[in-house]
Amino acid sequence: MNIMNPTTQKKFLQSCDVIDHQQPDVLQKAQQLAAGKQDTLAIIKACFEFVRDQIKHSADYQLNPITIAASQVLKHGTGFCYAKSHLLAALLRANNIACGLCYQRLTISDDVPPFCLHGLNAVYLPTTGWYRIDARGNKAGVDAQFCPPQEKLAFNLVMPGEADLRQVWHEPMPEVIAALKANHSYEQLLENLPDVELI
């Protein structure tokens, strides 16, 4: 069994401007999703499937506004992968489940450069440690699931230059927040998706 250091665990349970799980609507939704469930895995699955299936991916559905904070994502029912990961982290943290943010670097289209960051989550499971889940939303060719200990993410790495950024972040990457704040429509953000250079 893996036991997380209490100091580390605290970071992955805290609220911030983006993962604002103390906001009443987010807290209420978290409690609703956990109602009647005694098992931690059942709570994680319920929160994951809610964000994956009920919050629409802004690009897939061509929706505005660009949401950032978890409470905004819940209110508007839409967000890019980054924003959806903020909501999932908030719902899980509100249920006292340690959850972080993680990223992949992927090609944007046609399996050729340029690249962009893709946002997903990692949840801490005592049996396995960090376990990644991807609530970006399923569609043709995308079938992300919660099936520990096996990871089933939305995207596989297929091209040179693509990578899993293995760090688990307790707050979003600054490059992601900057892109979400600088672009004011889904079309604009699609033209300016965040990326980082791999070292």
60 φ, ψ to 5°? -60, -40
pLDDT > 70? residue 1: no
Residue 46: CB atoms within 10 A of its CB come to: 20
pLDDT > 70? residue 199: no
- Separation CA 52–CA 46 (nearest Å): 10
Q: Does the model's pTM come out above 0.95? A: yes
pLDDT score at 198: 78
pLDDT score at 6: 86
Give me the mean pLDDT over the 62-68 stretch.
Answer: 98
| Pairing mode, strands 78-79 and 150-152 | unpaired
Give the residue among 129, 184, 191, 119 at the shortest CA–CA distance from 155: 119
Q: What is the pLDDT of residues 7-58, one digit of tens each?
A: 889 999 999 999 999 999 999 999 999 999 989 999 999 999 999 999 999 9
Q: What is the pLDDT of residues 89-148, one digit of tens each?
A: 999 999 999 999 999 999 988 677 899 999 999 999 988 999 999 999 999 999 999 999
Give me the mean pLDDT over the 167-194 stretch.
Answer: 97
List of long-range contacts for 104-112, beta carbons under 8 Å, 24+ apart:
104/153, 104/155, 104/157, 104/162, 104/163, 104/164, 104/165, 105/161, 105/162, 105/163, 105/165, 105/195, 105/196, 105/198, 106/155, 106/157, 106/162, 107/159, 107/161, 107/162, 108/193, 111/158, 111/159, 112/159
Tell me the domain boundaries of the chain: 6-191
pLDDT score at 113: 82
- Separation CA 48–CA 85 (nearest Å): 9
Residue 82: CB atoms within 10 A of its CB come to: 28
Question: What residues are paired with 147 via a beta bridge?
Answer: 150
pLDDT score at 4: 83
- What is the distance between the terminal CA atoms of the chain, rounded to a whole angstrom? 33
* CATH class of the region 6-191: alpha beta
Q: What is the pLDDT of residues 69-90, one digit of tens each?
A: 999 999 999 999 999 999 999 9
